[in-house]
Structure 1
């Protein structure tokens, strides 16, 4: 069976990359909590379920 995708070594983060990613996420959370924007639905429940019904 052929292996697809990137090698495992490429999927792991170095300590520096992990620290930078964590800092970016924490900064995003802080900014979001400072000025939160509520989720606004643009479709009704019926519109959503009518699109999902072929899959279900």
Structure 2
């Protein structure tokens, strides 16, 4: 395995001092297809937005 196409480690997002996303890590290799699954309000969109900037 070479260098990952995308890597993020231990992401944390806080709103008003409350951690809404805590400890999310992601590693994507070239040619991989990735999806985020979870309940409403689980932090999928917030996590994705943190990764893409």
Tell me which structure has the larger Cα radius of gyration. Answer: 1
Flag whether TM exceeds 0.5 (same fold): no
Q: Which has the higher helix share?
A: 1
Q: TM-score, normalized by length of structure 2?
A: 0.18
Between structures 1 and 2, the one with greater strand share: 2
State the TM-score, normalizing by the size of structure 1: 0.18
Higher relative contact order, structure no. (Cα contacts within 8 Å, ≥ 6 residues apart): 2
